[in-house]
Chains A and B, each alone.
Chain A
């Protein structure tokens, strides 16, 4: 389990994926490539993503859970795929905001 809060950064232990939390707080089972994610910079990579969690992550994409309580942004792409409490997280397609600057 990791503690989510906006701005918290996590890394995969089995691929190059890194994410930052954009929305959501509290304990969560956040995984990448089938393995729990850990605070960014806290672990070396070891092993490979499991076969059923290796669709990969896309740089700069937002990933959300079904009920829109959690959103993470991919800051480094990798071979594993993201899941929250065992459920795959999907790329969120949001209506872009008007550029304000």
Chain B
């Protein structure tokens, strides 16, 4: 089993279809096969077992991903937004490797031991670099070979290299995507950075379904909107921070994107208020909310368009609240919520989220497999399953606030705060308390006329319970996010914990 099976099928059935780039002049599936064969030959000639990619979204992505798979090398996209020292340290960990980089990346990686650097424009123009292209169909068949190494952007600690093997990614695509199901006019805008698992999953899914990929190198809401219009984009995928900025920009411009048929979002906590506004500015789109992790080959749970419409239209507040859930498990994926003692938590009871399935890799390059003996992977996210089988993700275990022995979800408190019309963004986290162990603190971004701290406390008291009422309310200009859109509550927590003035008694 090899990722190349997916491209080979696409090229057999849809060889003339553009896989990536503009509709008139992009790279077709047949052309992508040819370039992947060339790159595979180059990788073999240089005996490279890894292809390190340091560059923004572009046609180089699928050429590198499939070329690496064909050549028996792991595809290793790295975060080019890291400071020089961190980027070079990561490249050293990944070497020896063939490094494919834009001109900026090539300069920053120069001199790292064990790297053979090639600029992406030259690789696109001449994939084989003088080596003999690989023969048709001669990609390695070992399903356990490493397909992709991703340095997780985690919200804590140094990056870990998650290992995704060919069988995990191929299973994911075969169980979730219908082959050649995209119409010839469909196009997907790719704005998530290449080192995010969603980029890998999206490349495979688009190629296999026959949907043209329109890459956007640098994300900016205005450029994104313009490209969607210019390239007749029909399908979009975003992390929540991008979605929020796009909705704001469309509001400012007084525009709606009527031609978009599908909006998928995930990869971080999304706020219901943003989703409800998005439903308005993408009036013709079906919405999908996906929950997944790098270690699970991306999506494991999804809430699709039917659910969105149904819950958004419901008069029952409990049903309407389901818009904040992560939906239900994909076919072939099992989800279980367990208490600290390992026993299955009952419906509605919070615990740790565990997942199992063919696509679940749960492995790190340095730490080995993290699956238990029955194949279950602990996500380290906290959540609960409701009576209809919908998964609610509360946040990272580390972010859960434990006040007087009661576990509280920061997301629940943030959602309550965001129902205030002047609250733009909110973060809840625990701060040390002598009396309670931890006490709730919130940082709030508000627009004028801003509410008072007591207004917000009253709001939380009315919507939730008095134990959730924040002891400390701070108004801030913005909140810290990492570059894939994950809220860094840890930073707020440590800032407040190290400030004696913020001790809550």
Contact = CB atoms under 8 A, between A and B. Distances in A.
B13 to A, nearest CB: 5
A47 interface: no
A60 B1 contact: no
Interface in B252-276: 262, 264, 266
Interface stretch (B21-29, B48-56, B168-176, B434-442): B168-176
A7 interface: yes
Interface in A67-101: 73, 75-77, 94, 96-101
B189 to A, nearest CB: 12
A97 to B, nearest CB: 6
Given A7-B143, A41-B141, A59-B179, A100 B290 contact: yes
A98 B304 contact: yes
B94 to A, nearest CB: 24
Nearest to A7: B167
Interface residues of B, number: 41
Contacts of A73: 174, 179
Contacts of A98: 262, 264, 286, 288, 302, 304-305
A23 B171 CA distance: 10
B248 interface: no
A94 B299 CA distance: 19
Interface string A1-36: 000001101000000000010110000000000000
Contacts of A23: 332
Contacts of B235: 99
B141 A97 contact: no
Contacts of A76: 12
Interface stretch (B59-67, B198-206, B342-350): B198-206
B205 A97 contact: no
A77 to B, nearest CB: 8
B332 A100 contact: no
Contact of B171 (A7, A41, A61): A7
A75 B332 CA distance: 19
A99 B179 contact: no
A94 B159 CA distance: 39
A24 to B, nearest CB: 12
Contacts of B225: none
A97 B358 contact: no
Contacts of B1: 7, 9, 20
Interface bin, chain A = 20 to 34
A7 to B, nearest CB: 5
Q: Considering residues A40, A60, A99, which has the most beta carbons from chain B within 10 angstroms of its beta carbon?
A: A99
Contact of A6 (B141, B302, B358): B358
A101 B298 contact: yes
Q: Considering residues B174, B201, B288, which has the most beta carbons from chain A within 10 angstroms of its beta carbon?
A: B174
A7 B181 contact: no
Contacts of B121: none
Q: Considering residues B292, B298, B358, which has the most beta carbons from chain A within 10 angstroms of its beta carbon?
A: B358
A101 B201 contact: yes
Contact of A60 (B179, B264, B290): B179
Interface in A51-68: 59-61
B179 A61 contact: yes
A100 B9 contact: no
Given A7-B358, A97-B304, A98-B288, A75 B5 contact: yes
A18 to B, nearest CB: 9
A82 B266 CA distance: 39
B330 interface: yes
Contacts of A22: 174-175, 332
B9 A75 contact: yes
Contacts of A7: 1, 143, 167, 170-171, 358
A59 B12 contact: yes
B237 interface: yes
B185 interface: no
B423 interface: no
25 contacts: A6-B332, A7-B143, A7-B167, A7-B358, A20-B1, A20-B174, A22-B174, A59-B13, A60-B9, A61-B179, A77-B12, A97-B302, A97-B304, A97-B331, A98-B264, A98-B304, A99-B177, A99-B209, A99-B262, A99-B264, A99-B288, A100-B176, A100-B266, A100-B330, A101-B290
What 4 pairs between A and B have smallest CB-CB spacing? A60-B179, A98-B304, A100-B290, A100-B299
Interface of A: 6-7, 9, 20, 22-23, 40-41, 59-61, 73, 75-77, 94, 96-101
Given A41-B141, A60-B179, A101-B202, 16 more contacts: A7-B1, A7-B170, A7-B358, A9-B1, A20-B170, A23-B332, A73-B174, A76-B12, A77-B12, A97-B178, A97-B304, A98-B286, A100-B176, A100-B266, A101-B198, A101-B205
